[in-house]
Structure 1
Amino acid sequence: MKRALVTGGSGAIGAAICRRLAADGLHVVIHAHHNLASAQNLCAELRDSGGSAEAIQFDVADGDATQIALEALLESGPIQVLVNNAGIHDDAVFPGMQRQQWRRVIDVSLHGFFNVTQPLSMPMIRTRWGRIISVSSVAGITGNRGQTNYAAAKGALHAASKSLALELATRGVTVNVVAPGVISSDMTKALFDKDAIANLVPMKRAGKPEEVAALVGFLASDNAAYITGQVISVNGGMA
């Protein structure tokens, strides 16, 4: 059974991805930083549904802690599907943005990509099969007011993924990015009312976490073996 690690696995999109991968027959390692209880509850749900799962806790922005946690995971064999889904918002217009707001968002989304992906890449190469999928945002493509830090982190993630895809293309390891737009969640409901979504999204609705997870599930499968180095949007037609 292939094993998958989903960072930030207990949020709306992360949980949907975990459910999809478990339904596809993978053993899912559900990562959390602060909210381990939610990851453990999701783990129990997946097991009750006949899936295989475990929960793990560490801060992806802490390179040493991440290394220790991943070394323990790798003792049981390679992680062959990695979904870099952990990310945070700390929004402010740029003239008023504090240094810590800039650094923390970059640390989690971009440095977290390195801290998690780098230790797992060589075990994938040795098996000649791997899937590295990072969850980004439309903000990394179009930019967004009040999110210079977040857009910078996600845009850099796109470039890093394209470069890594070139390095691993002959090793049976694909590297892709999924860039969601407005996806239904508790946070989205607080930020966007129905009229705002209708004005912003050509399809006039928010996306579902399961629609993002469906693409991740496909990219994680054997059927996506010839897709690499791509940034694929799930955004209802947003430019």
Structure 2
Amino acid sequence: MTRPDRNTDGIIQDRGPMNYELSDTQLNSLAKDLDGLYDETQKKMGQQDLDYVRNVKRYSEAIKRRSFELFNHPDTDGAFQKAIVLRGLHVLIEFSVGHVILHGAYDHIEGANEFHSSVYKWDFVIDTDDWKTMHHQGHHPYTNIKGQDHDIGYGLLRIDARQDWWGHNLVQMLTFPALLASHSLYFALYTSYSARAIEGRKQYAPGNYKNAFELLAKAYVKNVITEPAK
């Protein structure tokens, strides 16, 4: 493995190999410390944590409802801009909370119910099973390793000097806002694509994007037709 570093101009450069090799004793000691920290943290979690995440979810839903109200029944100056900000805040909260839940943070707590990682469905247009594959099997074991961590640039942006350069990177500062604006469409498909690649499924197998397209269709009906009509 090579170590990227920056010169006086702030440009990343290769400073040679890094030695990350640990002895078996060191690895076992590290594993023991991490397991101990994990067990200690789990024991501290309980009903108070479930109450907290439920409150956050209710707050997020209230933000979303208000954004729809401002879109459809503007009752204040700058209603459209405020609606966009609130909608973005809802998405940010929803993803942040869902990320923690789908990591199984509440699985061991009695009464987790809808916040158990095996049943949780976030208000985010990404298939949870595909995301778990992409995130748990791809991102965390291979964080920032080119070609294995699908979170690096999300297949479109060049954010690291070790990534290959493509022509579209010339205009990525323009495509990035478009990516954010169309996050539901792009990330739904990209997550399914990444899960397919990690699991070694064929590129054009019929079921690869089935869940993604179903989620997109439901989200369109909900966000464009059903919710605004309320």
Q: TM-score, with normalisation over the residues of structure 1?
A: 0.29
Larger RCO of the pair (alpha carbons < 8 Å, separation 6+): 1
Name the structure with the higher helix share.
2
The answer to which structure has the higher strand fraction is 1
TM-score scaled by length of structure 2: 0.30
